[in-house]
Structure 1
Amino acid sequence: MSRRLKAPKSLFGSASELEAAFYAALSQGDIEAMMKVWSDDEEIICILPNLPYAQGHIAVHDLWENLFNIGQFKAHILATHTFDNLLTAVHTLLVHIQLTTRSGETQAFNLHTTQVYLKSEQGWRMSVYHATVALDNNKLTDVLPSLLH
């Protein structure tokens, strides 16, 4: 029998509104607000650099709770590319993160992130969050090619 966390959900009218709530929860270190953005589906996935793969509500909750215990995160979106349709949205971002640890040490780094959002009867919810360290500080491509091949 699988254990499941239930957080009261907020209605998000757009993927961009949901994304803003996600980064607000990150900056506030608010685990309840963080879990409100995620889909009710147990197949949710969160992949962060140098951390274990997290699938399902318990694993995703525990991952963010552990991160929030490290210190305070501030996120600043440097570049974004979005693909939104009626039921799905995929946002690719370049995000600058500043972490101030509990001991007062400050670290700064950039992440390339991909967020997948799904629209349900309860509004927009995050299904996948995948981040990798941006080894360069390049911007996302503003104009994507019309053909892949």
Structure 2
Amino acid sequence: MERVAEANAQFYGAIENGDIDAMHRVWAEEDDAPDLVCVNPGWPLLRGRAEILRAWALIMANVPYIQYVLTDTHIGVSGDVAMVTCEENVLTAEDDTPGFIAGGQVVTTNMFVHTAAGWRMWSHHASPVMPDEDEEDEQGSATEA
């Protein structure tokens, strides 16, 4: 499980550092994991290594800052397949304005396959968590006071 946790951390490190070469190393080759898939919030389903890595290159080129704080992480391993579920608490700067930070929460399932090169990503599926209406009401009341 430790190696799976490392592979998962490498995925988020690649995004945070805008390192497309590291992202290439994170994802499995299609010979090891057919039908690679990736779902990012607000994006259509991405299928195949080339399409997925092209999308990550676009994201990395257009997001000046992003940081993930992972919580509620669970890892399950069955033979040569592993699943990591977690909550991504995301901080991001969406433009070059100093001090502008947006945040959000995403639930994620990352699937890995064990290959000759180690654990590699087979699937990433991230879905945004909608704020609870009670939380929105409390935040609205606090900003109006």
Question: What TM-score do the two structures reach when normalised by structure 2?
Answer: 0.79
CA distance in 1 between counterparts of 2:69 and 2:86 reads 10
* Superposed CA RMSD: 1.6
Partner of 2:24: 35
Bigger-Rg structure (1/2): 2
Partner of 2:129: 134
Correspondence 1:88-103 to 2 at 5 A: 88-103=81-96
Partner of 1:87: 80
CA distance in 2 between counterparts of 1:86 and 1:52 reads 30
Greater displacement, 18-27 / 102-111? 102-111
Partner of 1:21: 10
CA distance in 1 between counterparts of 2:90 and 2:10 reads 16
- Measured against aligned partners, the alpha-carbon deviations of 1:80-111 in whole angstroms (never above 9, x if no partner) come to 12211331111110110111123233210011
How many residue pairs match? The answer is 125
Segments of structure 1 that go 5 or more residues without pairing to the other structure are 1-12, 138-149
- Measured against aligned partners, the alpha-carbon deviations of 1:24-47 in whole angstroms (never above 9, x if no partner) come to 111101111112100101521110
Runs of 4+ in 1 over 4 A off after TM superposition: none
Secondary structure class of the residue paired with 1:39: coil
More helix by share: 2
Correspondence 1:117-128 to 2 at 5 A: 117-128=112-123
Maintained 8 Å contact 1:79/1:95: no
Identity of matched residues, % = 23
Maintained 8 Å contact 1:118/1:125: yes
Question: What TM-score do the two structures reach when normalised by structure 1?
Answer: 0.77
CA distance in 2 between counterparts of 1:116 and 1:20 reads 13
Maintained 8 Å contact 2:112/2:120: yes
1:106 aligns with 2:90: no
